[in-house]
Amino acid sequence: MTQNPQLADLSSHGVAVWLDDLSRDRINSGGLAALTAERSVVGITTNPTIFGAAISGSDIYNDQISDLSKRGVAIDEALRMITAYDVRAACDVLAATAKRTGRDGRVSFEVDPRLAFDTHATFAEATSLWWLVDRPNLFIKIPATEACLPAITDTIALGISVNVTLIFSVERYKLVMDAYLTGLERRAKTENSSGFDGLESVASFFVSRVDTEIDKRLEAVGADSALQGKAAVANAVLAYQAYAEVIASDRWRKLAAKGANVQRPLWASTGTKNKAYPDTLYVSRLVAPDTVNTMPEATLQAYADHGEIGTPVQNQYEWAATVMEQIRAAGVDMDDAFTTLETEGVDKFKASWDDLVTSVSDELKRVG
């Protein structure tokens, strides 16, 4: 099958195209395989909201839920078995991509969001999910809360690939990169260079939610409307600049010389929430080498239809710094905004997980 030219061009500029969605229907129908063949998709991200939509919107899970009910499996364990089944199957669909690329072909599986502020429980959950899925092309998603930074280090040191999620600020992103490097350094002390084989990481920097929050605050302080719709891209650009500084450091070079793989920036939340903005805004404006863009299907198809490569991220550093300075000068408390976004992000995933627990619990009772 022929790859879509817009998405193939995006890939040629160093952007790995991932899909921010997964369901058993998509796997069984061959739809996921088709996206890899026709839409340059080389990875999958999931979260509690995605699984909630997949499971509540289909009866394809009924047989497995019935079997779990007959065995008397507890609700939390049942949910993990149901979602792990889909992640494992998706890993198998993308196994050839993983073998071909070495770094992609990955499927992300998130730790229980209720553990986002518990370091030790998050690490325990991460190792449990890794063993449960038992596929080398798996990413364990761990939130970038302060409490979880040590868990990220411990997980990497153990040799488990990690997708660090819910990053909103450049300052927190720098701590995430430090946590990754620290994990690699710990691993290097106990392993030779082969200990890094297959060990990968991405750092999921959220984009569109930043514009939603900052636009609201700009309007509240009566700032120039020309600043609206700028914060998200500017923030992400400065994050990439911070990444570029880290991979140019002696600290990283020493690890790279031992065979470590770079932790790529991943642009998440790239669907445009404000309909006044271009529907491919957070793809076209965030083109840079060694990045990942995980897109909801609507954004993926929009880019396939009319997407264009915008100004390279490396050429936007000065513009981005100026925009962020102007937003702060207008009276927007960026630190408070980022704290709010992180809290809301964790709360949203908790709510989705709670809804999923209720839905599957009701179904277990119904078929029991």
Q: Looking at the annotation, which residues are catalytic?
A: 141
CA-based diameter of the chain, in Å? 61
The whole-angstrom separation of Cα 299 and Cα 7 is: 11
The whole-angstrom separation of Cα 269 and Cα 248 is: 27
Instruction: Please state, in angstroms and as integers, the Cα–Cα distance from residue 68 to each residue in 59, 79, 89, following that order.
Output: 15, 10, 19
The whole-angstrom separation of Cα 153 and Cα 150 is: 5
Choose among 352, 291, 277: nearest CA to 79.
Answer: 352
End-to-end CA distance of the chain: 45
Q: Would you state the structure tokens that stand for residue 255, as one six-digit string? A: 């690890």
The whole-angstrom separation of Cα 51 and Cα 359 is: 11
Dihedral sign for Cα atoms in the order 348, 349, 352, 357: negative
The whole-angstrom separation of Cα 106 and Cα 85 is: 15
Choose among 215, 212, 185, 209: nearest CA to 199.
Answer: 185
Choose among 129, 115, 113: nearest CA to 162.
Answer: 129
SS3 1: coil
Q: Which amino acid is at 239?
A: A
